[in-house]
Amino acid sequence: MPSSRHCIRLTGASAPIAVGKIVCLARNYVAHAQELGNEVPAEPVLFIKPASSLLADGGQIRIPPYSSDCHHEVELALLIGRSGQAISAANAMELVSGYGVALDMTLRDTQNRLKTKGLPWELAKGFDTACPLSDFVPADQVSDPHQLRIQLRVNGELRQDGCSDCMIHRIPQLLSFISQAFTLEPGDIVLTGTPAGVGPVVSGDVLEASIDQVGQLRVSVA
């Protein structure tokens, strides 16, 4: 049986769902790419978090000792409900069974060090507790995933306030692109990128994320 840490819940489902891979999208909002001094990519930029990075609602983020600059990034999460390989954009939404609220916690100092050397980002993105994640709501309860307000507050202060209509790569195109390389399987999670306003968190901070029609997520920093 999978560890309960590696499972999520979909409202209405009879049992927890074991998580497979977590495929993440970088620089999918123009303003966020610009605030970090990155060029806006012509095609999706992908990276993967392990299932061991998951953190449930109410949990504590633990910043690894090799970093002193951990940033928050609030994102709309997709739950994959059926398998798909090399799918077309026209059929891609059939794979989505639910939507959730996620945080892509990022060790910015570590990421910048790795980027300057042309190395992968896993040390900055995949550490334990790097992916706080809410429960999921069924896909049919969200009227339009590209018209959702996305917000994050730290200690009650609004830090991120965006809308999913500002995505560069829309969900059908994103899932089609991913499935050309990785077969998407039931239990996989896709993070769709973060709007502008990312910034640092420190020990004792409380993070509260919300997405219209989807839900809320509250975690703290140890």
Annotate 149-163 with DSSP letters as a single string: EEEEEETTEEEEEEE
Tokens of 22: 């977590």
Q: How far apart are CA 2 and CA 16, in angstroms?
A: 10
More confidently predicted of 3 and 136? 136
Q: Domain ranges in the chain?
A: 4-221
Beta bridge partners, 138, equal 98
Tell me the residue type at 57.
D
Residue 1 has what pLDDT?
39
**Angstrom distance (rounded) from CA 166 to CA 93:** 18
Per-residue pLDDT reduced to its tens digit, 4-51 = 568 999 999 999 999 999 999 988 986 655 665 666 678 899 999 999
Dmax over Cα atoms in the chain, in whole Å? 46
pLDDT for the residue numbered 99: 98
- Tracing tokens 């620089």 back to the chain, one arrives at 27
* pLDDT tens per residue, range 202-221: 999 999 999 999 999 999 99
Instruction: Give me the mean pLDDT over the 111-122 stretch.
Output: 94
- Kindly report, residue by residue over 137-162, the tens digit of the pLDDT: 999 999 999 999 999 999 999 999 99
- Cβ(107)–Cβ(67) under 8 Å? yes
Which tokens sit at 33? 């790419």
**What is the reported pTM?**
0.94
CATH class, domain 4-221, is alpha beta
Q: Can you give the pLDDT at residue 185?
A: 98
Residues 65-113 pLDDT 10s = 999 999 999 999 999 999 999 999 999 999 999 999 999 999 999 999 9
What is the predicted pLDDT for the residue at 40? 67
What's the pLDDT score for residue 4?
Answer: 57
Residue 175 has pLDDT above 70, yes or no: yes
The separation between the first and the last C-alpha atoms of the chain, rounded to the nearest angstrom, is: 28
